[in-house]
Amino acid sequence: MKIVVTGGAGYIGSHTVKLLTEKNHEVLVIDNLYNGHQEAVKDAQFIRCNIKDTDKLTEIFESFKPDAVIHFAAFIEVGESVKNPLSFYENNVSGTVSLLKAMEITGVDKIIFSSTAAVYGNPVTVPIPETEPIKPINPYGQSKACVEKILNDLSTFKGLNYVSLRYFNAAGADPSGLIGESHNPETHLIPLILKTAKGEREKIYIFGTDYPTPDGTCVRDYIHVNDLADAHLLSLEYLMSGGKSAVFNCGYGKGYSVREIIDTVRKITGKDFRVEETDRRPGDPAVLIADPTNLKKTLNWKPKFDELDIIIKSAWRWELNRRF
């Protein structure tokens, strides 16, 4: 199949592109490299382009003639979204509308959307099912929820077929060591702890130790990036075989606390490092754990890297031999 991947030079995008090319799909990556790295794009065509440029996208689609689109391109940093909400709405919502216009003009009717567990806000039910009310508590989550509503409208009234994948906490790196997580600035917990173990950071902070969890720190569902990439491949196959529009949670259904992550990093790296406890951050739910039942049942998703040790070992291997 011929697949356009927006944001394919980013963390999750590049791992998905690698998997698609290994499965002999023809892939065209569109990325403006605001957060991505061209070095992360392996064995795929690459065009530097902003998704807000509808005319350019239309031109690309008319030439490449994709069967489907996988849409990663977005701003993702929650804290930044609180500081600059309009930039997130402009990029994540308006940018997606531009992409959808280009798809409509050129007759492309299948898309896989990179959504987030942040659409749930502070959930009532844990593990969280897809039926949990959508109540985001920050502009990042709100921007993704907006796009989900747009996709639902286009599916209902215009015949668009989509899968929205609500990611929990993506982590780890490809076992090849060729690609991995590389954000600037880095805000994700596991790479921040690894950088502290490596001596690049003075200390790691624990934000809040009084949550209603077994050890008082936040609990999250960490999913290996390659298992997440596999969910995209299965979603693509599902849509191409006539599957109806759907939403799936992407997580393992089990969570680890911040303290458990720190302890596991110490064990795997053999390094000790300074940890400082501080106040809670506003807007951090105590527990976020996915219910992945629908993903497993509908797409026959079978995770291969669903152990914390595997996730952290792969991330540490990447951190020690970073290529970008």
pLDDT tens string 278-289: 999 887 889 999
pLDDT tens string 39-48: 999 899 999 9
Which architecture does CATH list for 2-171+222-250?
3-Layer(aba) Sandwich (3.40)
CA gap 135, 92 in Å, rounded: 18
The SS3 of residue 1 is: coil
**Per-residue pLDDT, 105:** 98
Domain ranges (residues) in the chain: 2-171+222-250, 189-220+253-320
Beta bridge partners of 277: 206
Active-site residue, selected from the candidate residues 11, 89, 120, 140: 140
CA gap 3, 244 in Å, rounded: 19
- The first and second tokens of residue 34, run together, are 């605001």
- Domain covering 189-220+253-320 in this structure, CATH number: 3.90.25.10
pLDDT tens string 231-275: 999 999 999 999 999 999 999 999 999 999 999 999 999 999 999
- The first and second tokens of residue 316, run together, are 């540490």
**Per-residue pLDDT, 138:** 93
> Could you tell me the pTM of the whole model?
0.97
Assess whether 140 carries a catalytic annotation. yes
Q: What average pLDDT score do residues 184-206 get? A: 96
